[in-house]
Structure 1
Amino acid sequence: MDTLGLVESRSIAAGVNLADGMVKVAQVELVRAGTICSGRYFICLGGDRQAVQTAVSHAEQSGSALAGSYVISGVSPQVLAVLKKSVQPGTPGALGVVECRTVSAGIAAADAAVKRSGISLLRLVTGQGINGKSYFVFSGDVASVQEAADAAKTALGRHLIESVVIARPDASVVRALTSGVR
């Protein structure tokens, strides 16, 4: 799987219908689909670029109200790992947190940040329990974290809520952000 397609529907019922249509119109794998806060439905699918583009175009041309749609080619292995929740954080020199208005924009921005700078993506929180928003957490040296945060801001545009870079974060803060306070 080299490409991800992300579609965020403003309606749950329409989202279910879109997911069904998307997997029928192209040879794609449904990676994740389900409700997120604010009554939205999030669809994440993977496959080769042409198939994913066909499926996302189907959703975009459906007439359904979408909160976002993206096609990410050459998706970063770090983004795939964090979506599967298989990341173990170390002790970072700096920590970055970027908060986004939508789930789909957050995943696209995380991919842009990872590709732009030598950071480690630690966590990606997608929509549930946070009113349909998303945020991602990453670490590295201060310069790399700042460069990644800047790349995310550029990628997000109006979908950016807030971005912070924390030099020498306390270990308890890192634990809280990546796996809960222990």
Structure 2
Amino acid sequence: MNTIGMIEINSIAKGIETADIMVKAAEVDLIISKPICPGKYLILIAGDVGAVNSSVEAGIENGRQYIVDKLLLPRVHPQLFNAINQSTDIGGVNAVGVIEYYSIATAIVGADAAAKAARIQLIEVRLGIGIGGKAFVTLSGDVSAVNEAVEVGARIGRENGMLVNKVVIPSPTKEVFYKLI
């Protein structure tokens, strides 16, 4: 699994149908298939680039006018899957970075770019659930690495007008840090 595919749909019924079609279209792993805010449906798959591409194309064909956004991202950073699944193992921390986006697809691309830019640990990539359809990335590491990663991830959002905000918190309190994980 080195490629992520995503489709965001503005109909829950059509989203469920599209997820089924996408999984039947190619050998992919269904990572996320569920309703998100505000009343949309998110489908996230992973696999080899050819299979993910075929699956996303089948989803686009089925979803047509209901599609809000789509993404095909090959050669993703290995940390991305655990961060999306909220199963990251974090040790100590020197700094925390948070990048907030208006777009789920942009958050995925931004998290991937941030992880590739510096020696950081992705903590979580939260995708539109319970946060009004927005998305955010949390990451940790040394202050300089977190600053670099946050700048790279924020640039992705800024380039297409999807960045809400970004912060770097040096030496976060244990109470705040442990609420993130």
Q: Tell me if TM exceeds 0.5.
A: yes
Give the aligned partner of residue 171 of structure 1.
Answer: 174
Give 2:12's aligned amino acid: I
Q: CA deviation at 1:33?
A: 0.4
Name the CA distance, whole Å, in 1 between partners of 2:50 and 2:28.
Answer: 10
1:50 to 2:53 alignment: no
Question: Which residue of 2 is the match for residue 85 of structure 1?
Answer: 86
Q: Which residue of 1 aligns with 2:96?
A: 95
Deviation for aligned residue 1:41: 0.4
Judged with a 3 Å threshold, the aligned counterparts in structure 2 of structure 1 residues 148 and 101 are, in CA distance, closer, same or farther, namely: same
Q: Measured at CA, do residues 29 and 88 of structure 1 come closer, stay the same or move farther in structure 2, by a change above 3 Å? A: closer
CA contact (8 A) 1:93 1:140 kept: yes
Residue 66 of structure 2 is matched in structure 1 by 65
Matched ranges for 1:1-182 at <5 A:
1-62=1-62, 63-156=64-157, 157-178=160-181
What is the Cα deviation at residue 137 of structure 1? 0.7
Q: 1:105 to 1:152 in 2, by over 3 A?
A: same
Shift of 1:29: 2.2
Instruction: Decide whether the 8 Å contact of 1:14 with 1:64 is kept in 2.
Output: no
- The unaligned stretches of length 5 or more in structure 1 are none
List gaps (5 residues or longer) in structure 2. none
Q: Distance in 1 between matches of 2:136 and 2:164?
A: 9
Instruction: Report the Cα distance in structure 1 between the residues aligned to 2:115 and 2:73, rounded to whole angstroms.
Output: 13
Quote the RMSD (CA, aligned, Å).
1.7
- Which shifted more, 130-139 or 152-161? 152-161
Deviation at 1:88, TM superposition (A): 2.7
* 8 Å CA contact 1:91, 1:171 repeated in 2: no
Distance 2:119 2:68 in 1: 30
Q: Give the drift of 1:114.
A: 0.4
TM-score of the aligned structures, taking structure 2 as reference length: 0.89
- 2:53 counterpart SS class: helix
Q: 1: distance between equivalents of 2:179 and 2:123?
A: 12
SS at match of 1:30: strand
Q: What is the rounded CA distance, in whole Å, between the counterparts of 1:139 and 1:99 in structure 2?
A: 15
- The letter of the residue matching 1:13 is A
8 Å CA contact retained: 1:68, 1:105: no
In the alignment, the residues of structure 2 paired with residue 80 and residue 119 of structure 1 have an alpha-carbon distance, to the nearest angstrom, of 15
Instruction: Compute the displacement of 1:97 (Å).
Output: 0.4
